[in-house]
Structure formats: C-alpha cells, structure tokens
Chains A and B, each alone.
Chain A
Amino acid sequence: MFGLNKIIPINSDYKFLNYRKFFYIVSSIAIFLSMLLLFFKGLNLGIDFKGGTLIEVSTKNTDIGELRDILSPNFNEVSLQEFGDENTIIIRLQNENNQESIETVNKVKQIINNKVDEFRRSEFVGPTISSELLWKGFQAVSFALFAILIYIWLRFEWQFGFGAVVALTHDVLFTLGVLSFLNIEFSLSTIAAVLTIAGYSINDTVVIFDRVRENLRKYKKLELLDLFNMSINNTLSRTVMTSITTLLALLSLYIFGGEVIKPFALTMIIGVVIGTYSSVFIAVPTLLVFKFRPQDEDEN
C-alpha cells in the first residue's frame, strides 16, 4: 500500500551463518562480562529479595534534602530517591530484624507525617520471605527452561531443544548482566520479565526452527549451512516485524506506563532485543554442531 512492505525483500539472501564465528565471539564476551558483573557487582536486589522497608510518599512544602535530614538521625540505613518527579520520594530502609522493621514503617510515618501529602505505598518484606521469594523465582526460571527444552524435544528433535536452551540461557544471562551493569532494580516483576523474555525468545527461535525443519524435508541435497541461511532469510521479515511491534508496545509502556512499571518495561526491551539477536545468531548456528540431518537420515 505504502510500499513499506518491501523494506525487507521476499528473496533476501543474507549469509548470516558465514559470520557465525564473529557472533560466537561477541556473545561469549558478552556472557563472560555478564558473569563477571553478576559475580563481582551482583544484581541491585530490591526489597523483594533482600528484605526491608520501602515507603513512597508525595510531599508538600519540602524537598528530598530536608526529608533526609529529618530521617537520617533516626535510622541507620536509610536512603531516599526521587521517583518520577521531585514531589514523589521513595524511602528505603534495610532491616536487621523483622519485628523492628514493621514498627519502622510506623515510626517513619509518624516522623514525617506533617511533611507528607499522601503515603502512596509502603512495603515490608521480612528476611524469611525475601529468601523464599528468591528461591521461588530461581525455581520458576529453571523449570521454565527445562519445560521448554522438553517441549521442543517432543515437537522437534533433541538437537533443536539443545539449540533453544543454549539460546535461552544466553538470553537470561546476558539480560541479567545488562541489568547488573545498568543497576536496574531486580524485583519480583523482573523475574516475570525474564520469564516473558524466555517465552518471547523461544517463540522467535521456534518460528525459525520450524522453517529449518520444513526446509530439511524440502531440500534434501542442500548444504546445511545454506539451508540454515535460507531458513533465517525466509522468516527474517517476520522476525523483524514482530520485534518492532513488541518493542513499540513496550516503548509505550516504558514512557507512559508510570514509574512503578518502568524497570519491568526496560528489562523487557533489553530482553526482546537480545532474544531476537540470539534466535538468529546463536540458536540456529548451534544446530551446525550436529553434522547429521535429523529425521531424514533413516528415511532415505
């Protein structure tokens, strides 16, 4: 209609896999750096996983400096941060002891009551809960990877499952690395984002694998490398198109969805980019490791 559908030609013929070594190196470095970051810097764990108290207030006739001056003498580990605009402030307190901290919420509220227009939100997570939540989150991500592996194995061949899980692990580690690097808060909703990224990335990978499987049946004589390149090109416009629409929606969520949802939207944006990259440059090349043609071998 507007001719924009010709941006990606139907018969595109990019030799993605011929540069696979380059992308292996890029990804290896990225994963290595991510692991270094995760190991030495760690994630910026929010109170969901570290325990503690968070209070969001909208203030009146005061600023963050004054509130800090009022609160600091009373509490050991208190940090304040503007949240979106200068009248909305987040107060974080790390707790040493459970009971103490639920009273901390009351104490904070009493001290700053006359400076505050509204207590918008208060959260308290005790230490037993935070470690449980972390464990549950870890379980959810591991089970998801495992369940996806099983499903791909059943629907395709085990080699495809291997490729998918390599790509997924890559996505999860890489995303976590970026989160650590950018110091984005890691909370329960980040776990949701990571799992959704896994779902999205696998979705992308499956579409290409599906085409690889189809082409393996169709072109029995073709070199595997060329066949894989062809499959990626066949599905390329779809891969790009879906990434763009998803990113458009996420961008809208990031810009207009409010402060609370921002870290989630940002994590998703990072993950979608990484997930799309890995489907093309990691998942498919991994299949080259296996020298035989699945299924067709015994049929012929």
Chain B
Amino acid sequence: MKNYPLWKVFVVFILLSLGIIFAIPSILYKEDTGSWYLDNRLNLGLDLQGGSYLLLEVQTDVLIKEEFENFSDTIRIIAREKRIKINNIEKINESLKVRFESSDKLKDIRQEFLQNYRSVKFNITNNIVSITIDEIFKKTIQDSAIKQSLEIVRKRIDESGTKEPLIQRSGRNRILLQLPGVKDPERIKDLLGKTAKLNFHMVDDDDAKSLSLNIAPFGRMIVSDIENAEIKYLLEKKSRVGGENLIDANASFDPTEGHAVSFRFDTTGAQKFGKATSENIGKRFAVVLDGVVITAPVINSAITGGSGIITGNFTSQEATDLAVLLRAGALPAPLEIVEERSVGPGLGADSIAAGKIASIIGMILVCIFMILIYGSFGFIANISLIANLFIIIALLGTIGATLTLPGIAGIVLTIGMAVDANVLIFERIKEENTKNKKIYETIKKGFDRALSTILDANITTLIASLLLFVFGSGPIKGFSITLSLGVIASMFTALMLTNLLVHLYISFNSKKEINL
C-alpha cells in the first residue's frame, strides 16, 4: 500500500489479532475450563458476581489492657511471697503505678518481675514503682496479634466452605476479606465476631458471700451464664486447661442433652484435664467461652481419656459453628467489623445485564453519530472503536483484572471518549484538506499535527486515573483500570489502526479525494 510502511501494517495486524484472540475467553466463557488460554478471563468483582467484602480491625488495645492486668497480678503474687504490703495499684495512661507500704526489697521485686517480662521499664522512686511499656513492645504485641488473627481468620473461613476467599493484612491493624459468592454473610460475620477463647475453670461453690456481694476475692472471678446474665458463678481465675490444647472438635448429638460439641485434647491437655477432674470429683467444672459460662456440670468421675462433650441448649447450626471455632482456635484479640459490603447474586446479575445494555446502546448511538458527521471516515472510526473494546477486554483478561460495576461505567465512558482521538485527527485532516492538494500529504499532516495534542490530552487523563487507582478502594480501582486501559488502547487504535484504514480507504477510493 502506498505511503504506509509495511512494518506498521504488521504491528497493527498482530496487536489486533492478539486483542481478538485474548478477548474471546472473556466474552464467550463463564466457567473455568482448566485450559491456560480459556482461563485468561475477566474476573467479576464482588459487586457483579455477588459476595461479601469485610474489613476487620484487630482490637489490639484489649491486648495491651490484658498485659497490664497480668503485670498487676504478677506483682501482687511476688509481693505476697515476699510479705510486702501493697497500698494501692492504679493504671495511669500507659503505665502502672504500684504504691508499696515501704521501700524495702523493691529491688528484689524488680529482679523477679523482670524475669517474667523482659523489655518492660520498671522504675523505683521511694516506695512507688511504675511499670511502663514502650512503643516497640506495643508494636511487637500488635504485630504478633495480627499475624495470629490472619491465620485463624483463614482457618475459620476455610472451614465455613467459602470458595476462593481473599484474606490479607491491610494497614497497621486491619484484615481485609473478599468472599465471592457468599450467600449468608451474617453467618460469616458471626464466625468472625467471636474470639472463641475456651477455658475450663473450677467453680468455687463454698464462698457464697463473695458471690452475693458481687466482689471477687483475689484469685477468683465472677462470670455470668450464657443463657441468663442474672446467674453468676464464682470461678478460680486461673484456668485448668484451655482451648489451645484442643486438637479436634466436632458437632455431635447427645440423646439426652441435644446438640453438643465433642472435643479431644492433646497429650498435655489430656493430662491437665485428667488431673483436674480426678482431684475434684463432686465439684463443678465451668466451661467458659469468651467470658461467659456455657455450662457448669458436676464432675462425676475422673476423665482421663482426654475427650469430652460440651452441651448447652445449642441448635444444630450453633453446635457446628462452635466446633468450627474451636478447631480453628481462639483469636488473640477481638475483631471488630468496621466495613461491610455484601451484594446478593440478584443485584449482581441485574448490574451485568444493565451494564451490557448501556454499553451496546451507548456504542450504537456513538457509531450512528460518527457516521452522520464524518461519513466514511466515521465508519473507519467505528471500526477502531470496536477494535478498541476488544483490546480493552483482552488486556483486562490477560492481566487478571477484576471487572466491577464502576469498571463497566469506565468502559461505557471510554466508548464516548475513545472516538476523541479520531475526531482530533479528522478535524486536522479537514483543515489540511483546504490547504493541500496532495492527498497523502494532507493525511500525513493531519496525523502528525494531531499526534502531540492526542498525547498531551490523554496523558492528563491518565494522571487523574492513576491517582484514582492509588487512592481508590475496590470497585473504584476497577474503574480507574478500565479507564486507563481504554485511554491507552484508544491512542493505539487512533494512531495506528485508523491511520491504516484511512490509507486503505484512499487507495481503494478511485476519486482520490477526501470527503470530510
């Protein structure tokens, strides 16, 4: 072809073929086939296929508070052993102030305390001790809490039967979850909302006075019943055995007690459990989950096998979920759901259908308009536009991008804006046409003059779109991706494909004139 280099024809041909080849899987196939080529598809975002997005915050403040409670308990125990009286203990901001009756032996106390807790600051001024923690200590606690939480959240989600979940850390103390296809987000939220800290404590039924006054003596704690908060139990503060020693838990059915959870301890757990039950036959043993008593049965005989069942008016679902929680283990700190976005499959399907209609009608309107205004050249621009769409879809599919509802909006918008580069070129050619007599020179000048304008105009759009990507979340990122790819693809199609087609048109046009 005259005046159009052959290598450019090849480039256009190859890129266009690639565009069509890689767009086909996204357009025609819905399910994974296992084939490398066909699985290069567009992923649908949660807002289109339905599913839940959850952002969880790990309540690390609770851990810091617990840490200070441990400090306070430890120092009481040490003081009691050394027979030193403590006047009072109070927590002020990020430090614990302990006022002793005298300043004797405080150095000994410090030495013993620091054996338990390294990297804690322990300052003595006269008879007052202040215990403080620094930022590094806090950060270590937080980091390990997030890591553990991630692990446990992953186990719980896997156990819940969600397919292809995305679970990742987000920022300092958050966990981001994307759960495609989840139909019952409430159940997932229930599973995640529980810390699932399980402990077995002995019940102190001898001290009725403390219980009636609602004041727990040292080494004891008062805990409510899960069914009725009015019912209180006085328990030993130190647990005999805990959920960390569980190796298995399953929902089961007990003929007399109904739905239950059967569990099994590891060797250590079995030993502790066996010891506690054999020493306390006839007394009550409380099963405490997340700070409430689920059940407190009387120990009839020593349980040495390391397994047992927990009962407590469960429904079948509750028993199953409790078993899941116990198998996955306890969270180090409570999780708070700070953001949720769930979309049902109905809305997702409606959005896809609406998006398709909007794209097709938008496309038809733009195409008709272009032909009305530019005639044959409009037809050329329309071919470029369609090629542009194929390329966008192929790119989205191959980079594994996710198509969201705003993403569809981005594509529709691209349809409107993509013809811009063509318009710029045609307007230039139209202008040059009035000055020049030679047809190929007119076309060349038209393209050359339009080039820098097209670049400048599109790069500014790309800047805005890039910032959307950086600052946007989920679906908005999808919008910025389709818009950016659309802009890039439109530059290619206008400068290469339209150029080729215009040359083709001229060489087949016997009159050799530009009718613009």
Interface residues of A (CB under 8 A from B): 1-2, 4-5, 7, 10, 56, 58, 98-99, 102, 105-106, 109, 118-126, 128-129, 133, 136-137, 139-140, 143-144, 147-148, 151-152, 155, 188-189, 191-192, 195-196, 198-200, 202-204, 206-207, 210-211, 234-235, 237-238, 241-242, 244-253, 255-258, 260-261, 264-265, 268
Contact = CB atoms under 8 A, between A and B. Distances in A.
16 contacts: A4-B372, A102-B193, A124-B341, A144-B464, A189-B479, A196-B483, A199-B460, A203-B457, A238-B420, A248-B365, A249-B363, A251-B365, A257-B357, A258-B358, A261-B405, A261-B408
B470 interface: yes
B307 interface: no
A257 B373 contact: no
Most chain A CB neighbours (cut-off 10 Å) among B415, B419, B430, B467: B467
B452 interface: yes
Contact of A133 (B344, B374, B453, B473): B473
Interface stretch (B65-73, B237-245, B249-257, B348-356): B348-356
Given A155-B456, A261-B405, 14 more contacts: A1-B374, A119-B344, A129-B338, A189-B409, A192-B468, A198-B464, A203-B461, A241-B427, A244-B369, A245-B419, A248-B369, A252-B358, A253-B409, A258-B405
B338 A144 contact: no
Contacts of B372: 1-2, 4
Interface in B417-472: 417, 419-420, 423-424, 427, 430-431, 434, 452-453, 456-461, 463-465, 467-468, 470-472
A133 B339 CA distance: 11
B347 interface: yes
Contacts of A250: 362, 412-413, 416
Given A148-B464, A188-B476, A238 B423 contact: yes
A226 B500 CA distance: 37
Contact of B431 (A139, A151, A234, A241): A234
Contacts of B464: 144, 148, 195-196, 198-199, 202
B109 interface: no
Given A56-B347, A206-B460, A124 B374 contact: no
Given A10-B431, A249-B416, A152 B460 contact: yes
B358 A245 contact: no
Nearest to A189: B406
A133 B465 CA distance: 17
B361 A252 contact: yes
A113 B139 CA distance: 44
Interface residues of B, number: 79
A192 B480 contact: yes
A249 B415 CA distance: 7
Nearest to A236: B427
Interface of B: 55, 57, 185-186, 189, 193, 336-344, 346-347, 350-351, 354-355, 357-359, 361-363, 365-366, 369-376, 378, 405-406, 408-409, 412-413, 415-417, 419-420, 423-424, 427, 430-431, 434, 452-453, 456-461, 463-465, 467-468, 470-473, 475-476, 479-480, 483, 515-516
Contacts of B344: 118-121
Given A143-B467, A195-B467, A244-B369, A122 B185 contact: yes
Given A58-B346, A137-B471, A198-B464, A249 B369 contact: no
Nearest to B417: A246
B453 A252 contact: no
A125 B408 CA distance: 24
Nearest to B415: A249
A189 B347 CA distance: 17
A99 B346 contact: no
A153 to B, nearest CB: 12
A252 B412 contact: yes
A56 to B, nearest CB: 7
B456 A206 contact: yes
Nearest to B483: A196
B476 A189 contact: yes
Contacts of B336: 98-99, 126
A151 B458 CA distance: 12
Contacts of A206: 453, 456-457, 460
B52 to A, nearest CB: 9
Contact of A210 (B363, B409, B456, B465): B456
A151 B340 contact: no
B362 A249 contact: yes
A123 B340 contact: yes
